[in-house]
Structure 1
Amino acid sequence: MTQLIERRSFLRAGAIGLAGLGITGLIPAWARSGSPGLAPTLPTLSGEDIHLKIANTHFTVGGRTGHAVTMNGVLPAPLIRLREGQNVRLHVENTLDEDSSIHWHGLIVPFQMDGVPGVSFPGIKPHSTFVYEFPLLQSGTYWYHSHSGLQEQQGHYGPMIIDPAEPDPVAYDREHVIVLSDWTFLNPHHLVTKLKAEGGYFNRRKQTLFGMMKGGPEEEMSASDRAMWGQMRMDPADIADVTAATYTYLVNGHGPQENWTGLFHPGERVRLRIINAATMTIFNVRIPGLPITVVSADGLNVRPVTVDEFQIGNAETYDVIIQPTEDQAFTFVAESIDRSGMARATLAPRLGMTAPVPPLRPRPTLTMKDMGMGGMDHGSMAGMDHGAMAAGASAAAGHGNSHSMSGMNMRDKSLVPDSVKVGVGVDAIAMSPIDRTGDPGVGLEDVGHKVLTYRDLMSLTPNPDTRPPQRTIEVHLTGNMERFMWSFDGEKFSEGVEPIRFERNERARVVLINDTMMTHPIHLHGHFFEVVNGHTGSYPRKHTVNVLPGGKVSFDLTADAPGDWAFHCHLLLHMHAGMFRVVTVRPLEGDAA
């Protein structure tokens, strides 16, 4: 039977209160903290049978109320807390008038339980119940969300913690689960419509002549670079598709003014389990005045590494340890990648305390490296015929594409890999992409303090499969930013696109090449892979990886999970627009070898 530890609504209805647990002493230590009236601790479910109800609900933030799709009436959904080794049954009732689903993000489950309609199961039909059942084979910080339509943008997501069966190698005195997300009062389908009509619809911070005159970021560009960007019709300020022009950035369902607060006693080791459940927002996370020690990435332990800031892509999770020694408050800052807004919370010894909230930093601009020219001799760039590069786009595309092709001389079709179908949906092919696992992320190169990179991460335990890859597979991340078209290898997902096929237990290296000028968090269902970062034998094992603009990331995969699995960009609207494929691992159980 579901054990309801605490259930407080984040909605206008206010606190529902504790169900059956009226004594504070019965609440575990990790749940005793926060702000009265702000649901400081997430409502929590545990046990072998868990019940979730998907429903339409009202959600209020910043004094406005809008429509949400929630689970058990709260946003984010309840924290599901389980233990490694147990079996769990999750009864999911869909009260909507449309299909729904739940994907257990990062969990290793039988593919029929993975929760992707049309790939691994039919979906949960309106006004019906589906029971997920699987053993818990791992521990760590994970989350769950809809894989149906655009329900995730409407609030259909929640955190999931699996406690280890063995003693936890990470020592801590208190923890807080922090779910980052983005909220808009617009219908998510209207977001897509606006972006289709104008790719930069939500970008209110484009480069301008006035910006150059008053000493803005544009002034740092050389005249030749500005001319080249202009000739290619590219905007170096095009960092994020959807911005604070419509988004409010949330911490555990609360906007910046509501100031969610997590408590600590000075001297305690506090574990923050940080989940990026945002639809379209990559966050830069820092706590001014406090070093941050990263101890886990995507649910798996890493060797502790201390930084001042880190970028967290959509669907990534990081566990960090902080140890504030002073009797003072600290501001938790999650700044959107384009720096148009932030999610904000407070960590403090007592309720009511606050710390200064830093102003938004100047918005970043893209560079030649982000155009896929990171491996070129930039000293020779001035002599390139950039006008010719732009002019050749239509002929190579073959579809009358008026948008220019950056980063390649389109008269030389040999630069286009055979695997990439170049057409109206592809506005760029990176001419010289480089491994960017040592880069901290767009806009974080010169912030003056230590920022985490993927090369800083090392698995706490040796990688389980030491076999060298048997083959290499290249996957190009492609798109037309102006027309909001997104794809893999120039093909958006449809029934006619061939799956990426692996033999069961095959060892392969997958190279992700980002031909676009946006960061893409790429997620593979059903597997962990090893990010190739120079630490052979101790590669960090992840399920989601940020691929920086014009760069590439390689990962080694053991295809040990038979079935059909989703593989996609976790910017939800990019996936919706076609940046999605199916990965097939065969044979299945019972098939002839």
Structure 2
Amino acid sequence: MQPSSLRAAPVEDRRIAVAPGQASLTGGGGQTAVWAYDGTVPGPTLRLRQHEPVRITVENGLDEDTTVHWHGIRLPNAMDGVPGLTQPPIKPGQSFVYEFTPPDAGTFWYHPHADSLVQLGRGLAGALIVEEREPVSVDRELLWLLQDWRLTKDGQIAPGFGNMMDAAMSGRVGNVVTINGGPPADQKVRVGERVRLRLANASLARIIALRFEGHRPIVVAIDGQPCDPHEPDGGRLVLAPAMRIDIVLDMQGDPSKRYAVTDDFYDSLAYSLANLVYDTGPPLRPHPLDAPLRLPANPLPAPDLAEAERQEIVLQGGMMGGGKLAGVGGMMGMGMPGMNGEAAWAINGVSMTGDGHAGMAPQFTLKRGTTCHLTMRNQTAWWHPMHIHGFSMLVLSRNGSPVPHRQWQDTVLLAPKDMIECAFVADNPGDWMLHCHVADHQMAGLMTVFRVT
């Protein structure tokens, strides 16, 4: 007889329907036509258990192909959701069954990888939380899934996806930000409580930088992976599209007082995202909770830097000064690149446009079990959150300076002219995407593939 700890866990069955819907994004009573998972924006928060298998059937009620990418989950290649590369797209009226066992606890999310720019921009995104095996010492947990929308005056999603200016510059940044699908609202808190706040940026292009007035957020995980608990530089949390950050907040404000949470990433465009509003009741406890902040480690293989294989990718292209496009092989005029699926960007001189397809030649090939030391150089004038599928990368250095706090990330933000060194163990076979998560940039060529054999 098997010991109970070795018995196969029952497979949890879930279903998600993808279809057009309506959402109240601005809170004024008006409805916006969206595309939604199970009729809600964002889609339902999927809560899974670490090391326990799940089977998720995705039904496509759109009139175009779709897939689902389980962002940040280290899963088998055939479940990764890239049309053509890892699976046939889910045709209208058809379904696809995703089966995987999440190895890591943490904050992840799910979204399409077909017609990514339009499908994400119309609302298809949802949080996926893999719970730790043992509960974490906090009083409660909150999730803020942040989305950015470009809406017209009548509250509908603006047309013009994939225009050249967005494609070759900063991407489709919107004019409305929502938290969990609605307008930012007051977050009620209590003196003395400890809150775990899971932050996820599901925007197409907007980079978000949060400051918590009167509070000291402690970062405990990035992109689902626990790190050394630390205060962010200058108290500012920078979340690029697709990134997640888990923070712990000890609520030490004054009763009945309001504290602003502001986003000040873009110069002179700071705005108040939300407010922490304290109730008038007595403190939950007289002193901050005396419990460790460190989360249990996930089973990530440690890179062997002494034996690592070195690879480098160089990001090229985009609009430069004087209205010129830095094309592959030199400067090009503003006419064609970036429009109608034309390339505006390249990696190592090669532009892969769209969402991925069969027969994409790998940029490099790694033998299974090899440690890859990956250098990413941003030669462009724009910011790029580079996302790796199938792996988490240990971030080693930025512009030659060591990165502290042992940060593992699946989405690494490169500022203009940045050079970042990362490392990961190539223990997951298959053809894997590596691309910018500004959707316009990916669709216009800032994407590549590598192979693990």
Once the two structures are overlaid, the 10-residue window that deviates more, 535-544 or 568-577, is: 535-544
Q: Deviations over 1:303-336 (max 9, x none)?
A: 1112311211111111001112221232222344
The equivalent residue for 1:502 is 366
Alpha-carbon contact 1:179-1:252 (below 8 Å) kept = yes
The alignment-based identity, stated in percent, is: 29
Residue of 57, 63, 69 corresponding to 1:103: 69
Residue deviations 1:447-477 (CA, integer Å, cap 9, x gap): xxxxxxxxxx999689723342432211111
Alignment of 1:318 onto 2:156:
no
From 117, 126, 140, the equivalent of 1:158 is 126
Q: Work out which of the residue numbers 139, 158, 176 in structure 2 matches 1:248.
A: 176
Q: Which amino acid aligns with 1:317?
A: R
Instruction: Classify the secondary structure of the residue corresponding to 2:64.
Output: coil
* Distance of 1:552 and 1:342 partners within structure 2: 30
For residues 347 and 249 of structure 1, the distance between their equivalents in structure 2, rounded to whole angstroms, comes to 17
CA distance in 2 between partners of 1:71 and 1:536 (Å)? 37
Give the residue type in structure 2 aligned to 1:87.
P
Secondary structure of the 1:122 match is coil
Which structure features the higher share of strand residues? 2
| One of 295, 302, 307 as aligned partner of 1:464 | 302
C-alpha deviation, 1:341, in angstroms: 5.6
- Which one of the candidate residues 291, 301, 312 is aligned to 2:216? 291
Q: C-alpha separation between the residues in 2 aligned to 1:266 and 1:154?
A: 38
1:172 Cα deviation from its structure 2 partner:
1.1
Cα distance in structure 1, aligned partners of 2:111 and 2:126: 6
* TM-score, reference length from structure 2: 0.79
8 Å Cα contact 1:303/1:460 also seen in 2: no
CA contact (8 A) 2:168 2:345 kept: no
Conserved? CA contact 1:282–1:313, under 8 Å: yes
Matched residue pairs, number? Answer: 388
Q: How does 1:90-489 map to 2 (within 5 A)?
A: 90-149=56-115, 150=117, 151-168=119-136, 171-185=137-151, 190-193=160-163, 195=165, 240-243=170-173, 246-255=174-183, 259-307=184-232, 308-325=235-252, 326-327=254-255, 328-340=257-269, 342=271, 344-350=273-279, 464-481=302-319, 482=325, 483=334, 484=338, 485-489=344-348
- Residue identity matched to 1:511: T
Shift of 1:288: 1.1
Deviation, structure 1 residue 563: 0.8
Specify the code of the residue in structure 2 equivalent to 1:554: E
Residue aligned with 1:192, SS: coil
CA offset digits 1:190-211 (Å, max 9, x no partner): 1322527x956xxxxxxxxxxx
Aligned-pair Cα RMSD in Å: 2.7
Alpha-carbon spacing, 1:55–1:112, altered in 2? closer, same or farther (3 Å):
same
- SS of the equivalent of 2:248 reads strand
Greater helix fraction, Structure 1 or Structure 2: 1
Residue 560 of structure 1 is aligned with which of 427, 444, 448? 427
Contact 2:302 2:424 in 1 (8 A): no
Match of 1:43 in 2: none
Query: Do the aligned partners of 1:488 and 1:580 also contact (CA within 8 Å) in 2?
Result: yes
- SS class of match (2:352): coil
Deviation digits for residues 557-593 of structure 1, max 9, x if unmatched? 211100111110000110011111112111xxxxxxx
For the 8 Å contact 1:566–1:580, the answer to whether it is kept is yes
**2: CA distance between counterparts of 1:189 and 1:252?**
23
2: CA distance between counterparts of 1:94 and 1:511? Answer: 38
User: 1:447 maps to which residue?
Assistant: none
Greater relative contact order, per chain length (Cα 8 Å cut-off, separation 6+): 2
Give the letter for the 1:517 counterpart.
A
Deviation at 1:337, TM superposition (A): 3.4
Which of structures 1 and 2 has the bigger CA Rg?
Answer: 1
